[in-house]
Amino acid sequence: MIVFCGGFSNSDVLGSAKGWAGAFLFNPKAKETLDRFYARKDTLSLGICNGCQLMIELGLINPDYEKQAHMLHNDSHKFESAFLGLTIPQNESVMFKTLGGSRLGVWVAHGEGKFSLPYPEDKYNVIAKYTYADYPANPNGSDYNVAGIASADGRHVAMMPHPERAIFPWQCGYYPAERLDDEITPWIEAFVNARKWVEAQK
C-alpha cells in the first residue's frame, strides 16, 4: 500500500500537487514505477488532501474515463479549515465499505478541494460526501457534495478530508457525549480494513 499524504506534501504553496504530479510524469523511472504499482492487483493506495489532488491530477482513480475529474479552487476562494460532518454512503471500497451508512466528523484544511466531476454521480465509486450541501458544510462546492472517491475496484481512494487527524476522540472538534470513553474513533476501521486486505493477499 502507498499513501500520498496531505499537508502541502510537495511544497508549501497552493497548487503544489501539480508540481508533485510533474515529478512522476516527467521522470521516466518514477512514472514506470508508479505504472507498475497500479498495474498490480494486490496493491492499495490512499491520497489525503494534497495526496488526493495528486491522484486526481495523475488520473489514478478512473484511468479509463475519457473525461477526467479535476480538483478546483474552493468556491469561497479561501483556504477552508474546519471540523465537518461526512456521510459514508454504501460503497464498494476496500477501506470504507464497512463504514457505509456512518456519519462521522472530520477535519478539512484545503484551498483547492472542489471535486469537478464530468459524469453523473452514479459513474463514481463515492466513499464520502459532505453531510450538508450548503457552504460551509460543503466547504468547497464539490459536485454532488463529494468528499472522496475510489477506483471502480475499490482499491484506490482519493479524499480531501483528513481522517488521520480524527483517529482519537480528543482530536475531534465534536464527539458524542455517550461515546467519550472510546479509545479511538470509527475512522480507524478504514485502516484496519486495509491491513486485513493486504494480509489476505499473501
In degrees, to the nearest 5, what angle opens at C-alpha 54 toward C-alphas 115 and 18? 100
Which candidate in 110, 112, 162, 172 is catalytic? 162
Q: Beta strands of 144-188 (E only): which ranges?
A: 146-150, 156-159
What whole-number distance in Å separates Cα of residue 192 and Cα of residue 83?
23
- 195-199 long-range CB contacts below 8 Å, 24 or more apart? 197/44, 197/94, 198/1, 198/42, 198/44
Which candidate in 49, 80, 110, 156 is catalytic? 49
Establish whether 172 is a catalytic residue. no
Establish whether 77 is a catalytic residue. no
Task: Kindly list the domain boundaries of the chain, sorted by start residue.
Answer: 2-200
Confidence tier at 9 by pLDDT (50, 70, 90): low
CATH architecture of 2-200: 3-Layer(aba) Sandwich (3.40)
pLDDT tens digits for 88-118? 999 999 999 999 999 999 999 999 999 999 9
DSSP state, residue 182: -
Q: Can you give the pTM of this predicted structure?
A: 0.93
Residues, the chain, total? 202
pLDDT tens digits for 25-50? 899 999 999 999 999 999 999 999 99
Which candidate in 52, 112, 164, 172 is catalytic? 164
Establish whether 52 is a catalytic residue. no
Other C-beta atoms lying within 10 Å of the C-beta of residue 32? 11
| 17 or 136: which leads in pLDDT | 136
In degrees, to the nearest 5, what angle opens at C-alpha 58 toward C-alphas 55 and 61? 55
